[in-house]
């Protein structure tokens, strides 16, 4: 007979062998699977599992409600794909099209939209309560440049140690920044205190629309075109005057 201690130790060994993996490994596997999923996945051809489909041909004509095998047969006759464009509809809506060309045109439109899209970022400019005039002017020019590029600016003053007793001086510096910026920026948040940090947020003016200004192109000086001499009009020949006829007696 086995002792109770031996049975417990043997059971523990079996449990260690067949127990579930730690939570960290499980979460890591799930994360990898989630990253591997294509969020733009679209069911096509044999992947469509609905019993009935509302089919639209490549010319936009309604073909009615058809079973999947019949709709797929029509698509293959035209050397095209059957694409599920509205899976939540009842029944799902499918279109006969060239799926590769469709994805290429979709990606092309997205790239064109991103090219004209401007992402507004927040640039941070740090001041000190004992900043001298030269450093202040340099940092103020940075703020103006960031606003001119269509970005938001966060002006920050960090108090160290005994500087916390001089918070009024830091607020005066930020108020001076607001006054010097003038109409070249909009104050989104007035100076506010968060712990040992005082900051304000400036935004570009609304007339700019958050877009970066286009660089001015140097225009070549236009040369004066030489004036062409107008051809002189020749005088019209004088018409012969009729001579008086003599009467015969």
CB 71 within 8 A of CB 43: no
Does 18 map to a domain?
no
Of 72, 65, 19, the closest CA to residue 43 belongs to: 72
Does 91 map to a domain?
yes
User: How many domains does one find in the chain?
Assistant: 2
- Tell me how far apart the alpha carbons of residues 57 and 80 are, in angstroms, rounded to a whole number: 10
Average pLDDT over residues 201-209: 78
pLDDT of residue 145: 92
Q: Provide the 3-class DSSP secondary structure of residue 82.
A: strand
* CATH label of the domain that carries residue 50: 3.10.20.80
Q: Are residues 50 and 77 in the same domain?
A: yes
Token digits of residue 69: 């095998």
End-to-end CA distance of the chain: 180
Q: Are residues 67 and 128 in the same domain?
A: no
Query: What's the pTM?
Result: 0.42
Does 197 map to a domain?
yes
Does 146 map to a domain?
yes
Containing structural domain, residue 59: 45-103
Does 230 map to a domain?
no
Does 235 map to a domain?
no
- Tell me how far apart the alpha carbons of residues 116 and 118 are, in angstroms, rounded to a whole number: 7
Does 147 map to a domain?
yes
pLDDT digits (tens, 9 = 90+) for 119-174: 778 899 999 989 999 999 999 999 999 999 888 999 999 999 888 888 899 999 99
């Amino acid at each position: 007979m086995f002792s109770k201690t031996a049975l417990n130790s043997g059971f523990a060994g079996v449990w260690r062998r067949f127990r579930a993996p730690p939570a960290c490994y499980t979460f890591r596997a799930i994360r990898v699977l989630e990253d591997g999923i294509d969020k733009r996945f679209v069911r096509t051809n044999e992947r469509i599992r609905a019993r009935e489909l509302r089919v639209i041909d490549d010319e936009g004509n309604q073909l009615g409600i058809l079973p999947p095998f019949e709709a797929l047969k029509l698509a293959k006759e035209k050397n095209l794909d059957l694409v599920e464009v509205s899976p939540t509809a009842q029944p799902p809506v499918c279109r006969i099209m060239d799926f590769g060309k469709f994805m290429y045109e979709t990606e092309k439109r997205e790239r064109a939209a991103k090219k004209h899209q401007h992402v507004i970022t927040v640039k941070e400019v740090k001041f000190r309560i004992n900043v001298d005039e030269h450093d202040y002017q340099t940092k103020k020019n940075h703020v103006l440049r960031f606003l001119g590029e269509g970005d938001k600016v966060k002006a920050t003053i960090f108090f160290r140690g005994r500087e916390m007793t001089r918070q009024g001086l830091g607020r005066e510096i930020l108020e001076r920044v607001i006054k010097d910026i003038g109409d070249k920026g909009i104050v989104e948040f007035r100076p506010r205190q968060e712990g040992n940090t005082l900051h304000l947020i400036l935004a570009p003016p609304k007339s700019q629309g958050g877009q970066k200004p286009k660089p001015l192109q140097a225009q070549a000086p236009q040369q004066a075109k030489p004036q062409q001499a107008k051809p002189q009009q020749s005088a019209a020949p004088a018409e012969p005057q009729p001579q008086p006829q003599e009467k015969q007696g």
